[in-house]
Chain A
């Protein structure tokens, strides 16, 4: 019997989640690389600025990588919008009393945390990458002295506060994201569920802690 209509993966809610998982993985990879690069701030100005120069010298390769990351982000958010708007209609009348038994705070805050991350990404780019749009008073941007930019950018406590808050959201997002994506891709196995949860938690905490350490070190005068 011929099929009436061929079903393609991306038509389905499962397919859209698969796109989210793959793009989430790409973004996760970027988050790790970005963190490792920036942590060199603790090794002094020469190290960080040298690393920044090496990145810029990659030229077209750097732009290709940026294009992939941007595409992943656009697809990730596009899928969120499609799925969430659809699912919002799936329970028009809620419960008077509903007790969740096993889900986590991280899983329940993916949408809200995602919005915070989106706003933060825009702010962060305006802060360091397109500094003409910078919202930090008294911030001077140098195209070559990244170290000085970091120090002058994070000296303002409320700027650091925004970064800390955003990184807490990132940590939660990475925890449920890493745990969830293997299930979405069909790669999880009951035998490893608890181990996977532990690894996802540990990585989420580690990334958030490392990213928080940098602005806090500036405010505390450790990096100056």
Chain B
């Protein structure tokens, strides 16, 4: 027999960007411990629909922890109480019968609320567009071993590439800083040979866009790393700092020299 539970939810409801919004209280009844947190919300929404009420809007896509859509702050922690777990992968067995659960959207001026728990993470896309890419000609695939990558570099790139762009780092940061995301994306390409030609320009452009989007600065609280479902390390932030200093102080002429495509 699996455990079932009844919960009281306090959920942020907001009709749209201009609506002031506020908390509403709902009962979540007969929730199986095997459900995911999103499935629990699905059950609540079915009840709301049956009662002719607006369901709670939240984002989700893959429901297997890889797309980064399902962000919400659960009882004060982005993605809820379990370390290294997205909301969609959070199981209800981590809650107890009778629990009160407060659910809020990511809070940052750069992530405006679209509706209820859904925020616009377009700021992350614009940071990637500013420099989080490599300019490679898209001909036929090159020979796999044509460009050797040292194991340590490949590992480091893979660690950084684990970032799913969910925004929990911003949500958790007391300053609403996006440093962990930007650091991961810059380090992922910066660790690989393919990323070298644009390395210094990339860091400058991504940081400039991060600032332009209105994210806060980094005070080294490390709340981002604790909230990150992919356990991205703040070591990448140290590297971003180092790379930006190098890009702006040491590699200045690089700008003029790097004429055509890298």
Contacts and interface: CB of A to CB of B under 8 A. Distances in A.
Interface of A: 1-3, 6-9, 11-18, 83, 86-87, 89-103, 107-108, 110, 176, 179-180, 183-190
A210 B236 CA distance: 36
Contacts of A176: 220
Given A7-B248, A99-B77, A186-B239, A90 B208 contact: no
A116 B227 CA distance: 31
Given A91-B107, A107-B221, A183 B237 contact: yes
B233 to A, nearest CB: 6
B255 A17 contact: no
Interface string B199-231: 001001101101100111111111101110000
Contacts of B261: 1
B241 A14 contact: yes
Contact of A14 (B73, B175, B244): B244
B69 interface: no
B174 A103 contact: yes
B216 A110 contact: no
Interface in B165-197: 172, 174-177
B245 A9 contact: yes
Nearest to A17: B217
A13 B76 contact: no
B233 A90 contact: no
23 contacts: A3-B255, A6-B252, A8-B248, A12-B208, A12-B211, A14-B217, A17-B241, A89-B109, A90-B109, A91-B107, A91-B175, A91-B176, A94-B107, A97-B102, A101-B226, A101-B227, A107-B220, A107-B221, A108-B174, A184-B241, A186-B238, A186-B243, A190-B233
B31 interface: no
Nearest to A4: B205
B107 to A, nearest CB: 5
Interface of B: 10, 23, 73, 75-77, 102, 104, 107-110, 172, 174-177, 201, 204-205, 207-208, 210-211, 214-223, 225-227, 233-235, 237-245, 248-249, 252, 255-256, 260-261
A3 B248 CA distance: 13
Given A14-B207, A87-B216, 16 more contacts: A1-B261, A3-B255, A7-B208, A83-B217, A87-B175, A90-B109, A91-B216, A97-B104, A100-B174, A100-B223, A103-B222, A107-B219, A107-B220, A184-B241, A185-B245, A186-B245
Contact of A102 (B10, B215, B225, B237): B225
A89 B214 contact: yes
Contacts of A83: 217
Nearest to B224: A102
A193 to B, nearest CB: 9
B228 to A, nearest CB: 11
A102 B73 contact: no
B46 to A, nearest CB: 26
B108 A90 contact: yes
Contact of A101 (B207, B223, B239): B223
Nearest to B204: A7
B236 to A, nearest CB: 10
A13 B218 contact: yes
Contact of B223 (A89, A91, A103): A103
Contacts of A179: 220
Nearest to B104: A95
